[in-house]
Chains A and B, each alone.
Chain A
Amino acid sequence: AQKITQTQPGMFVQEKEAVTLDCTYDTSDQSYGLFWYKQPSSGEMIFLIYQGSYDEQNATEGRYSLNFQKARKSANLVISASQLGDSAMYFCAMRFDNAGNMLTFGGGTRLMVKP
């Protein structure tokens, strides 16, 4: 069975500091995609970053980077220079290429940035 786990239900970070949100997954598939989404209180899902299972380099998008460790089956999100507007729920998700292309989500981490 494929499963996504986010072990941190909530986290605090000081403004301007970096923070790492954990995500581990369990699959025997070789081909898959890893996503991170941000969900503010309004409910919309904002795409942050993507990593393909065959990508050799860690993905980066502005202040977001993905620490992909395939052997450990982890895909942690690193947010550098946290801003107050980063306070939100963050979801790790996977798309298993042999499973209809839908996303399977982790339980989420609520990040709160302190001024």
Chain B
Amino acid sequence: GAVVSQHPSWVICKSGTSVKIECRSLDFQATTMFWYRQFPKQSLMLMATSNEGSKATYEQGVEKDKFLINHASLTLSTLTVTSAHPEDSSFYICSARTYRGNTEAFFGQGTRLTVV
């Protein structure tokens, strides 16, 4: 099946710094990628939809200036958490849709962010 690679798998950063998370589709072109956030013992919540070559679409309540998304190519989307605070600590996971079929969304391995 298609492979989505997410990096880093975990990161610890100081409060006030920025962190960039990469999501790559390794063997297919993804015009659309999705970014989800998952707090401990909770479900995945969609943060934003990343469209290649255009601005991301953010879900209600997600600060676009804090969670910067760039989808500059058909194989790479990045999520930058700017001026991170401890409440941003969470599990972030991306997914990409391949149009070879409509039956599956492929997920990256996820990134566990801890802000201290």
A interface, CB within 8 angstroms of B: 33, 35, 37, 42-45, 47, 50, 52, 91, 95, 100-108
Contact = CB atoms under 8 A, between A and B. Distances in A.
A102 B107 contact: no
B91 interface: yes
Interface of B is mostly: strand
B104 A43 contact: no
A43 B39 CA distance: 11
B102 A44 contact: no
Interface string B77-116: 0000000000000010101010000111111011010000
Given A102-B49, A103-B34, A45 B95 contact: yes
Contacts of A106: 43
15 contacts: A35-B105, A43-B93, A45-B95, A47-B107, A91-B44, A100-B49, A101-B32, A102-B34, A103-B34, A103-B95, A104-B46, A105-B43, A106-B43, A107-B42, A108-B43
Given A43-B91, A43-B110, A105 B104 contact: no
A99 to B, nearest CB: 10
B43 A43 contact: no
B17 interface: no
Given A35-B105, A100-B57, A105-B43, A45 B93 contact: yes
A100 B57 CA distance: 10
A42 B71 CA distance: 26
Nearest to A91: B43
Contacts of B91: 43
